Structures are given as C-alpha cells and as structure tokens.
Structure 1
Amino acid sequence: MGRLKTAAVIPARYDSTRFPGKALAEIRGQAMIVRVYQAVEKCELIDKVYVATDDRRIKKAVEAAAGKVIMTSDQHQSGTDRIAEAAAQIEAELIVNVQGDEPLIDAQSIERALKPFSSEKNLQMSTLKRKITAAEAKSPDRVKVVSDQNDYALYFSRSPIPYYRDTGAEAQQYYQHIGLYVYRRDFLLKYAGMDQTALEKAESLEQLRALQNGYQIKVLETEAKLIGVDRREDIELVEKELKRINKRVE
C-alpha cells in the first residue's frame, strides 16, 4: 500500500474556560498555536497543515507566521466538530487532529500514530499514550487509557485505570492518553455526526463515542514527554521541558 495523502488540522479557539486566550499564550516569545503548527510541519508524512479556528486573532497570528487557516463556525461544541468542518474542505485520505494546546508535540510521535494505516486497511482511528506514574494517574486532568494485547483501546477514563486491588505500588503501570488522533477522512465525517453516547457524557471524553459505537482505536506508545496546556501555570512546565530538551541536544 502506497503512502496515503495526509493533512493535519489543529483546532483552536480563543475562549477557554480555564485559560482564556491560551492559543495565543506566549511560550518563549512565540504564540503557542504557532509553535504547534511549526512542530507539525516537521512531520514528513504530512502533506498539508491547517489551523481550524473561529477567531480572527488566531487567524492573524498563524498567517503572520506563513501558516494556513480554515475559518470555521463559532457554534461547535467540540474540537472534533471543528476538525470535521475543516476536513470536509480538504482533499486527503487521512486527517491528523493535533490539539492546539500540545506545544511539545514532535514529528516522531505523529509518525508513530500514522504508521499503522499503511498496513491495516480497516483501521479507522488511532491515537497515542505514554507511561505515567501512579501519582500522575490520580489527576482527572490526565486521561488514562487501557489497551488490549494488540494495542487497541479497551477504555479511556479520568479515573486511574486499571484499579490495582492487591499489588504493590512498584507493580502498577498506568498510561496517559495523548490527545492526538489520526482518522480516515470518511470515518471522521461520519463520526462527527454520531450522537453522543452515555459513556462519552459520563467521562466527558469524545473518543468513548467511537468505542461505544463498536469502532476500534489503535493506541501507539510514545516516550515523548508531552505536556498539554490546560491552565496558565502549565506554560512554566512546558518552558522547563523545552529548556531540558535544548540542553540535551546541545
């Protein structure tokens, strides 16, 4: 199977409950959304990169950095809906959904999520995970995932999963879900039109809609320390990690 035509779409909105304007928050003097865009561009398996937004300020910042923007409705209730509106205007077989608040995303992690599509013709959706500590797993802001022996998701939760009943702390193993997705374009358009499911509403996690409708999600492991920005104080954590990465490169 040849390489599939691939586009990346980064959903971004200005209004964020916990961190208003975070898409334009500066990280080492650069708007976060621009940093994410430029990181995604480094992935050689991606043909085109777009930011999908309803905000003119975000559009202006991205275009000032020579990026491409697709303006979308301001009525979307989720990033998936925004991605789907943009995807309907894009000619591609695969759509990569990269969250605009993942400033440490790297090309290798994106490539890992894309790789299974070259050999699994029936695969519709993939995502990423990374190992975390038992202490980190306690945070509801860190979504956890458990997978089967073939790396397909069994469940996603804000609670620590699995529940270790008898084993000691040294035997516990948790995986954080990283909110990057790859979809076949046709599936994404169908997925966005599905009704919310009971589990999705309970956990406030959109990916559970796919699982509850019987679709498999391939989950690939990455070792990259990806820090999503949910609150203003997360910017400091990201900048510390960038400093550590730069020192290691030097």
Structure 2
Amino acid sequence: MKFCVSYSTPYVGVDPDALLGYARHAESCGFEGIYLPEHVVGYQGAKVGEFDLAPDLEYVDPLDALAFVAAGTDRLLLGTGVLLLPYHHPVTLAKRLATIDQLSRGRVQLLTVGLGSLPGEATAVGVDFASRGRRADEAIQVLRLLWSGDAAGVSFHGEFFDFDGLASFPRPYRGMLPIHVGGSSSPAARRAGRYGDGYFPGGALLPHVRAAQLELARTTAAEHGRDPQALGYTRTAPIDMTQQRLDAYVEQGVDRVVVSASGRTLDEQRAELSAFADRFL
C-alpha cells in the first residue's frame, strides 16, 4: 500500500511557507506523494453536490504550485486531484506537464484528471459543458500522442482537436506520464478502463457501488485490449484512518491511499501527518 497526502489552499490560505512546510514534512514522514486540487474560476451560486462553493476560495493553479513544491523537495511525487482536463488545451498542457516532469526528474507520476462539475467554469473558458467528457477523452489521446512523437511530428483529427505534424519537446523525463482518471460516475469508470493508468473515484458511495465501478473499469480495460490488473486504484481516507479500514481497502484492491491533515496551522498539520506515519509508515 502506498500513502500520499493532499493539500487544499482554500481552507488554509495561500502561504508558500505553509505549503512547502507541509510537503517537506510529508516527505520526511515517508509519504509517497502530494496531490493538489483545481478550480479554474469561482462564481456566485456554484455548488459541489449539496455544498456551496464560495467564489472567493483561493484555489491555486495546481501545476504552478506543484512546480514550486518540486523545487523545495527531493523525492515527493507530484499529483493533481483532480486536474480539470476539458478546460485545458492538450497541446499546451503537454508542454507544461513535460516541463515540470523534466525539472523534477520524473516526479509527475500522480497526474489525475477529471471533468469538473461546475457549468460556470466550462462557460468561462468557452467549453461546452455537455460534451466535456468526449473532449477529455480526446485530450488524453492527444497528450500521449504528443509525448510519443518525434521530430517528424504527429497528427490528430478529432471532434475537438485537429492538427498535423506537431512536435512537442521536451518529452516527459521517462518518455510518458501515467494518467489516472478521477470521478465517481460510471462514465468515469469506463474512461479509466479505456484510457487510464489508474482509477481514483471520489464522492460518498456505498461499498457495492464502488465495487461495481471498479469492476466496470476493469471490464472496460479488458474490452479494449488492456490489462485490467494493471489499473491502479486510489482512494481517499480520513487522517485518523484505522487499521480495520486499511484492511478493508486492501481487500477491495486499493493500492494507494490519500489523506489530508485537517489542522488549521502548520504545526497541527505536521502533528497529524506524524501520527499517521507512526501508525502506518
């Protein structure tokens, strides 16, 4: 089992010392990596499920922030949870991700992409909310195509992206980046199976629903000639997770757990991470 942390600036503020202190402490405790969330823009009336999302919450750009974390750490893997893929053009995104990966010597290993659930964000960046799933599917294909290309360039002709002879350098440090798929819906599970290197479902779902979604992801992988057992399975857990819950996750096939400290100060957060590490790391 691998253990990672997440960090969310809206609830602790954008403080470079706090972010880097949190990341460095997680690294010293033995955590594998760190995840940052994304929201492109805020607006009045935005909701995530039943919860209001205040428009003035400070969501940093996750890729810029991960580059900052990479410069101040040595081995911590870098992840997004989740990057809102439909709202990024894959040609420019391929360059940004490869750059961070090169400069961090291959630590962008936890890239997790999702669709986003706020129609106002889609409108703000000129993306049709209803077709964002198909757009994301194409974007994953474009990213991998660009990273696999050579100086002769690659071509793609799809519904949303169309180009000929493009070459994108630098490539990622190891030539290709894993792409994990987030989301707690059946389409997300199918997307993970068809295109993903891992599946990271969110939300609050009953155990039998989660089991069905994982099975759907693996079945979809097999249908497309991919190894269903190679699909990673990541889940979130509370920072006070018990051994019983960890055992249940192992039984369910989870291979990576992500926790987040709930303290409001860096000292409180460090104490929570240390306590977790004492139990499980």
The TM-score normalised by the length of structure 1 is 0.30
Q: Name the one with the larger strand percent.
A: 1
The TM-score normalised by the length of structure 2 is 0.27
Q: Name the one with the larger helix percent.
A: 2
Higher relative contact order structure (alpha carbons within 8 Å, sequence separation ≥ 6): 1
